[in-house]
Chain A
Amino acid sequence: MNQLSAIAPAPAGMGLPVLRERGQREVFCGLTGIVWLHRRIQDAFFLVVGSRTCAHLLQSAAGVMIFAEPRFATAIIGERDLAGLADANEELDRVVSRLIDRRPDIRMLFLVGSCPSEVIKLDLSRAAIRLNARFAPALRVLSYSGSGIETSFTEGEDACLAALVPELPASDEPTLLVVGTLAEVVEDQFTRLFTALGLEHVGFLPARRAAEMPPVGPNTRFLLAQPFLANTAVALAQRGARRIAAPFPLGVEGTTRWFQAAAAAFGISAAHCARTLEAPAARATAALARSRVTLAGTKIMFFPDSQLEIPLARFLTRELGMSLGEVGTPFLHREHLAEELAMLPAGTQLSEGQDVERQLDRCRSTAPDMVVCGMGLANPLEAEGFTTKWSIELVFSPIHGFEQAGDLAELFARPLRRRAALRV
Chain B
Amino acid sequence: MELTLWTYEGPPHIGAMRVATAMRGVHYVLHAPQGDTYADLLFTMIERRDARPPVTYTTFQARDLGGDTAALFKTAVAEAYARFRPAAMLVGASCTAELIQDDPGGLAAALGLPIPVIALELPAYQRKENYGASETFYRLVRACIGPRNPTPATARCNILGPTALGFRHRDDLAEVRRLLEDLGIAINVCAPLDATPEDLARLPDAAFNIVLYPEVALTTATWLERQYGQRFINIPPIGVGATRHFVAAVADLAGIDPKDFLARNTSRLVWYSRSIDSTYLTAKRVFIFGDATHAIALARVAADEIGYKIVGLGTYAREFARELRAAALLHGVEPLITDDYLAVEDAIRAAKPDLVLGTQMERHIAKRLGIPCAVISAPVHVQDFPARASPVMGFEGANVLFDTLTHPLMMGLEEHLLGMFREDFEFSATASASHLAAGQVVAEATATWDAEAERELRKIPFFVRGRARRNTERFAAERQIGTIDLDTLYDAKAHFSGEAA
Contacts and interface: CB of A to CB of B under 8 A. Distances in A.
Contacts of A323: none
B58 A24 contact: yes
Contacts of B100: 119
Interface in B297-352: none
Interface stretch (A51-59, A169-177, A239-247): A51-59
Given A51-B124, A148-B35, A56 B14 contact: yes
Contacts of B280: none
Contacts of B96: 51, 53, 115-116, 119, 148-149
Contacts of B57: 24
A74 interface: yes
B33 A95 contact: no
B419 to A, nearest CB: 31
B442 interface: no
A30 B61 CA distance: 13
Interface in A339-394: 357, 374-380, 382-383
Nearest to B36: A53
B189 to A, nearest CB: 27
A404 to B, nearest CB: 9
Contacts of B499: 290
A184 B459 CA distance: 7
Of the four ranges (under 10, 10 to 19, 20 to 34, 35 or more), the interface on chain A belongs to: 35 or more
A287 B490 CA distance: 10
Interface string B28-64: 0000011111111110111011111000111111101
Contacts of B38: 28-29, 32, 56-57, 60-61, 376
A52 B7 contact: yes
Contacts of A149: 33-34, 60-62, 64-65, 96
A415 to B, nearest CB: 13
Overall SS of chain A's interface? helix
Interface in A8-27: 23-27
Contact of A380 (B35, B51, B65, B459): B51
B351 to A, nearest CB: 20
Contact of B45 (A78, A288, A379, A414): A379
A287 B493 contact: yes
A99 B1 CA distance: 13
A148 B41 contact: no
Contacts, number: 227
Contacts of A407: 497
Contact of B37 (A25, A88, A91): A25
Contacts of B58: 24
Contacts of A377: 40, 44, 52
A168 interface: no
A147 interface: yes
B421 interface: no
B491 interface: yes
B125 interface: yes
Contacts of B364: 66-67
Contacts of A333: none
Contact of B5 (A69, A152, A417): A69
A409 B497 CA distance: 9
Interface stretch (A79-87, A207-215, A262-270, A308-316): A79-87
A136 interface: no
Contact of A376 (B6, B37, B50, B360): B37
Interface residues of B, number: 73
B41 A60 contact: yes
* Highest count of chain B CB atoms <10 Å: which of A119, A183, A185, A284: A119
Given A53-B11, A56-B7, A148 B34 contact: yes
B35 A57 contact: yes
A406 B493 contact: yes
Interface string A147-172: 11110100000000000000000000
* Highest count of chain B CB atoms <10 Å: which of A70, A357, A414: A357
Interface in A402-416: 403, 406-407, 409-410, 413-414
A192 B50 CA distance: 46
A118 B62 contact: yes
A26 B37 contact: yes
B3 interface: yes
B60 A119 contact: no
Nearest to B46: A60
Interface in B461-501: 486-487, 490-491, 493-495, 497-501
A75 B11 contact: no
B490 A59 contact: no
A406 B99 contact: no
A192 to B, nearest CB: 8
B433 to A, nearest CB: 22
A189 to B, nearest CB: 8
A120 interface: yes
Contacts of B367: 67
Nearest to A183: B459
A24 B76 contact: yes
B2 interface: yes
A92 interface: yes
A69 B96 CA distance: 28
Contact of A29 (B1, B34, B65, B76): B34
B5 A406 contact: no
A286 interface: yes
A283 interface: yes
Interface in B357-385: 360-361, 364, 367-368, 381
Given A52-B95, A67-B367, A75 B494 contact: no
A66 B360 contact: yes
Contacts of B5: 69-70, 73
Interface string A62-76: 010011011001111
A51 B494 contact: no
A275 interface: no
Contact of B1 (A59, A61, A86, A357): A86
Contact of A59 (B2, B6, B37, B126): B6
B62 A52 contact: no
A116 B100 CA distance: 10
Contacts of B59: 23-25
A28 B35 contact: yes
Interface string B431-466: 000000000000000000000000010011000000
7 contacts: A54-B35, A76-B1, A76-B3, A98-B3, A188-B459, A283-B494, A413-B498
Interface of A: 23-32, 49, 51-57, 59-61, 63, 66-67, 69-70, 73-79, 81-82, 86, 88, 91-92, 94-95, 98-99, 115-116, 118-120, 147-150, 152, 183-185, 188, 192, 279-280, 283-284, 286-291, 357, 374-380, 382-383, 403, 406-407, 409-410, 413-414, 417
Closest 6 CB pairs of A and B: A29-B35, A148-B35, A376-B40, A406-B497, A290-B498, A383-B50
Given A115-B96, A147-B62, A148-B36, 16 more contacts: A26-B37, A29-B33, A52-B7, A52-B10, A53-B10, A53-B13, A53-B96, A55-B7, A63-B381, A67-B368, A78-B125, A82-B99, A149-B33, A149-B64, A184-B459, A280-B490
